[in-house]
Structure 1
């Protein structure tokens, strides 16, 4: 059914992450798929342009912290280690997730989403943007 499932997660949003992961784990186990967890950090230069000193150190610390959280999350998943992977990048969640889906050859993207709010309708959500632009199937979990 599936061979590679990409799961973009927000490591600061536990409920969204857990909801998406529970579905991803079930589908990965049923189909024998590999699962790749992915977190996007905001581009540090976007909010530190005036203070360029220390951007690389800030980015490195952010990546280390995000990787630690993803590693801890992966340890809670009851799947063989060779079926699990993760990565962290900087940028726009939609663009980074879609690029990684192509790179990995993901045949399913599973992403958590909240119930839409006025802010979401005006600005759009990451899940909606991924659904609109993905070349592969997307499962949005609420």
Structure 2
């Protein structure tokens, strides 16, 4: 194999290892963060719906202070809730206002998940394309798909 072909292969491998794979890891981590936010808002929506269903006006609960240390808390009036809207800001909402905000936020998070998923698919396709280029430079035969994956 000549030197220029070896250099091309090395550049392609470096591009995959140093650029595409870290990008893929970051995109997956970003999508995981969005999934966590979705779960938080989903849990909040369920809790507010339970409060409405049970007509609970007061509440006794445990609050996580950090490091799995809990403290008992009394909430004398549950008709209003404080929702973290980001950047350390909390807004006081009625139950219906909070549910409206949560549904809007869940729609936005669903779009973010879709964007992240598309980015992940794009990066994976780029990795596969570069690997196919390396395979061609090495003049290796194409991989055969198992019978279950073939398109007829």
TM-score bin (small chain):
under 0.3
Calculate the TM-score normalised by the size of structure 2: 0.25
Calculate the TM-score normalised by the size of structure 1: 0.27
Identify, as 1 or 2, the structure richer in helix.
2
Q: Which has the higher contact order (CA 8 A, sep 6+)?
A: 1
